[in-house]
Amino acid sequence: LKLLSPNKDLQGKNVLVTAGPTREAIDPVRFITNHSSGKMGYAIAERAAARGAEVMLVSGPTNLPTPIGVKRLDVNTTNEMYNMVIEHSDKADIIIKSAAVADYRPETVAENKIKKGDVDIAISLTRNPDILKKLGEIKKDGQVLVGFAAETQDIIENAKSKVERKNLDFIVANDLTKDGAGFKGDTNIVTIIDSTGDVQHYEKMDKKDLADIILDKAKSIYIKE
Ligand code: CTP
Ligand code: CA
């Protein structure tokens, strides 16, 4: 079988990927979100499935087609993503959290559309749960946990502290100030920092190529353990 499918090196592995933004309602017609396109997470899901893994993709709202061979579960809010991910985390060998999760949500969602008046208004925000931190707390032996970090300053320090704080095997840090990196395009410029303190910089590359690099590193950790 191996000879027939030489590139199916993730066969038998269960990979859980999150992608896209989350969306938090203010009222029935308005919401808070971010610029995430979902492209990075979808590329990881696509490459993992192409390499033979069983892939579950928990996705916030995106305009992207579901990659071939991938099971996609759609969510909107951070709380919905939290529940979906925790429900499916137990059977995952590798979890890759590329979603750009909203850290806060409006404290209350107005039942009706908010009408404008002559005075300014303020929206009070409340903290959302940290999905990745929770995954780090309930991490099983041998499970590989990968995070992303979106930074605009002190990238290495901030990303390192996220690796420790969230009990990750490694983190893929995006420098959002660089052209060709981050949320929207087809390319990314990242630094990968692992739990041993190893820091690896990568030049600008296609998100699909980066997806393979991330999966290669996750696989090498999975095999070691
Ligand atoms: N993340 C998560 N749940 C949240 C916030 C973030 O699972 N409520 C995950 C993201 O999917 C990502 C990683 O945590 O893999 C880092 O996200 P990032 O926004 O860079 O870090 P935060 O811990 O939210 O810290 P801050 O936004 O303050 O930099
Ligand atoms: Ca955040």
Q: Is pLDDT of 2 > 80?
A: no
Q: Is pLDDT of 4 > 80?
A: no
Band (175; pLDDT cuts 50, 70, 90): confident
Q: How far apart are CA 89 and CA 153, in angstroms?
A: 31
Q: How far apart are CA 94 and CA 119, in angstroms?
A: 50
Band (5; pLDDT cuts 50, 70, 90): low
Q: How far apart are CA 83 and CA 12, in angstroms?
A: 25
Which pTM does this prediction carry? 0.95
37 token code pair: 């396109």
- The per-residue pLDDT for 184 is 83
Atom of ligand 1 lying closest to residue 171 CA: 15
- The whole-number average pLDDT for the span 195-209 is 96
Compare 152 and 172 and report the one with higher pLDDT.
Answer: 172
Q: How far apart are CA 162 and CA 208, in angstroms?
A: 24
Helix (H) or strand (E) holding 103: none
Which residues are part of a known binding site for CTP?
103, 113, 129-132, 148, 162, 166
Phi, psi at residue 188, to the nearest 5°? Answer: -150, 155
Band (182; pLDDT cuts 50, 70, 90): confident
The number of beta carbons lying within 10 Å of the beta carbon of residue 3 is: 5
Atom of ligand 1 lying closest to residue 162 CA: 23
Q: How far apart are CA 88 and CA 116, in angstroms?
A: 42
Contact 8, 51 (CB under 8 A): yes
Q: Which residues line ligand 1 (CB under 6 A)?
A: 78, 97, 99, 101, 103, 128, 130-132, 147-150, 162
Q: Which of 14, 34, 63, 167 is catalytic?
A: 34
Q: How far apart are CA 123 and CA 94, in angstroms?
A: 38
Q: What residues are paired with 19 via a beta bridge?
A: 59
The residues whose Cβ lies within 5 A of ligand 2, an ion, are: 103
122 token code pair: 């303020």
Contact 36, 20 (CB under 8 A): yes
- Percentage of the chain beyond pLDDT 70 is 96
Nearest to 10 by CA among 206, 192, 216: 216
Mean pLDDT of the chain: 95
Band (59; pLDDT cuts 50, 70, 90): very high
Q: How far apart are CA 166 and CA 145, in angstroms?
A: 9
- The per-residue pLDDT for 15 is 98
Band (191; pLDDT cuts 50, 70, 90): very high
